């Protein structure tokens, strides 16, 4: 991306490796300050979003610079025909000067360029500022998204799944294609291959593959432990989906069981998963397996359409 000098001395450019320390600091400080925690810089503990997202898709990570220093950053995750952005953060002392808006410009440019069919973000439902800012760019609030978790049972249940990390190169290509075919059957063009590849290459966790009748029935991309989006003691299901149809709710239950088995194998104590509440079937499976909501935000969409947030879509993700 070519850098551009914006009004009021703000320059938006690509985020570079050398920016990552400052970007991580601003990320923690901004969220910690907004939420009023006593020691904002310790917010998010030992979990990592900034470095892992940058390594996953560095070309679509953006920096705002002000007076020669990093002022904020933003990231786009592209999942085929679907894309979302975040975390978007700006240094607290520079809030309300238009930097957040400048960091949204490249998002809109890329969504247009890629022909994104279903775009969005996850944000604080209680914040008029957040809803206002994103509405300016054509994103509209729809259903709430619940971030849920449950304690991991000690034995974690039977392991019924295969692990992507255990596959050889050819088998990995086949598994990736099967995952793509499965998500495409839920929403045309949805493709989370970058997440599967990022977890494998950065060793962030595991992609759990569930088979039935000798074809892929479901899969889940999991982050495990410190230095990932999960953090110490946690296994976080960043994306999970099962094949649509009459057996979908049973399959999702099995997939969650396989994720819990993974968490137990790794000695992790909590399993976390997010779901949009418009996916009523998926939410009910999570609730039925003992997941409880820890916090909820709202999904904002551009265009203002459901995408795969519908009752028959047995998908787990939260776009944080």
Ligand X SMILES: CC(C)(COP(=O)(O)OP(=O)(O)OC[C@H]1O[C@@H](n2cnc3c(N)ncnc32)[C@H](O)[C@@H]1OP(=O)(O)O)[C@@H](O)C(=O)NCCC(=O)NCCS
Which listed range, 50-58, 126-134, 147-155, 185-193, lies at the site for ligand X (CB under 6 A)? 126-134
Instruction: Confirm or reject binding of residue 25 to ligand X (CB under 6 A).
Output: no
What is the residue-wise DSSP string for 110-146?
A: HHHHHT-SEEEEEE-TT-HHHHHHHHTTT-EEEEEEE
The separation between the first and the last C-alpha atoms of the chain, rounded to the nearest angstrom, is 24
Give the footprint of ligand X on residues 92-111 (CB under 6 A): 95-101
Complex with ligand X: residue 51 or 97, whichever CB lies closer: 97
Complex with ligand X: residue 135 or 201, whichever CB lies closer: 135
Number of residues in the chain: 320
Comparing C-alpha atoms, which of 304, 294, 167 is closest to residue 234? 294
- Candidates 68, 132, 169, 214; binder of ligand X (CB under 6 A) is 132
Orientation of helix 248-265 relative to helix 280-288, angle to 10°: 50
Complex with ligand X: residue 100 or 307, whichever CB lies closer: 100
**Min separation Cβ 162 and ligand X, Å:** 35
Judged by CB under 6 A, how many residues of this single chain contact ligand X? Answer: 20
Phi then psi dihedrals of residue 81, to 5 deg: -75, -5
- Candidates 128, 168, 170, 213; binder of ligand X (CB under 6 A) is 128
- Candidates 1, 6, 25, 34; binder of ligand X (CB under 6 A) is 34
Instruction: Confirm or reject binding of residue 137 to ligand X (CB under 6 A).
Output: no
| DSSP state letter for 313 | -
- Distance of alpha carbon 271 from alpha carbon 250, whole angstroms: 19
**β-bridge pairing 82-85 and 69-79:** antiparallel
Instruction: Confirm or reject binding of residue 133 to ligand X (CB under 6 A).
Output: yes
């Amino acid at each position: 991306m070519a850098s551009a000098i914006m009004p009021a001395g703000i320059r938006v450019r690509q985020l570079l490796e050398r920016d990552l320390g400052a970007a991580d600091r601003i990320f923690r400080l901004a969220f910690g300050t907004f939420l009023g925690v006593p020691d904002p810089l310790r917010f998010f503990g030992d979990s990592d979003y900034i470095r892992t997202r940058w390594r996953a898709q560095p070309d679509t990570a953006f920096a705002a610079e002000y007076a020669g220093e990093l002022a904020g950053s933003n990231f786009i995750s592209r999942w085929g025909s679907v894309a979302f952005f975040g975390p978007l953060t700006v240094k607290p002392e520079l809030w309300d000067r238009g930097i957040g808006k400048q960091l949204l410009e490249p998002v809109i440019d890329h969504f247009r360029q890629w022909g994104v069919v279903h775009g969005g973000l996850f944000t604080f439902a209680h914040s008029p500022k957040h809803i206002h800012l994103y509405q300016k760019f054509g994103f509209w609030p729809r259903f709430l998204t619940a971030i849920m978790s449950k304690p991991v049972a000690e034995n974690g249940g039977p392991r019924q799944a295969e692990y992507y990390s255990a596959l050889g190169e050819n088998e990995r290509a086949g598994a990736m294609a099967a995952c793509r075919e499965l998500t495409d059957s839920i929403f045309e063009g949805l493709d989370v291959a970058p997440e599967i590849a990022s977890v494998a290459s950065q060793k962030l966790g595991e992609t759990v593959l569930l088979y039935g009748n000798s074809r892929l029935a479901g899969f889940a991309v999991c982050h495990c432990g410190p230095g990932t989006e999960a953090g110490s003691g946690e296994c976080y299901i960043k994306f999970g989906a099962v094949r649509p149809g009459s057996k979908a709710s049973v399959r999702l239950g099995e997939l969650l069981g396989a994720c819990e088995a993974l968490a137990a194998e790794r000695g992790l104590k909590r399993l976390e998963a997010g779901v949009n509440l418009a996916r009523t079937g998926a939410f009910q499976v999570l609730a039925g397996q003992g997941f409880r909501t820890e916090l909820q935000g709202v999904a904002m969409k551009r265009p203002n359409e459901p995408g795969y947030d519908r009752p028959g879509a047995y998908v787990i993700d939260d776009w944080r």
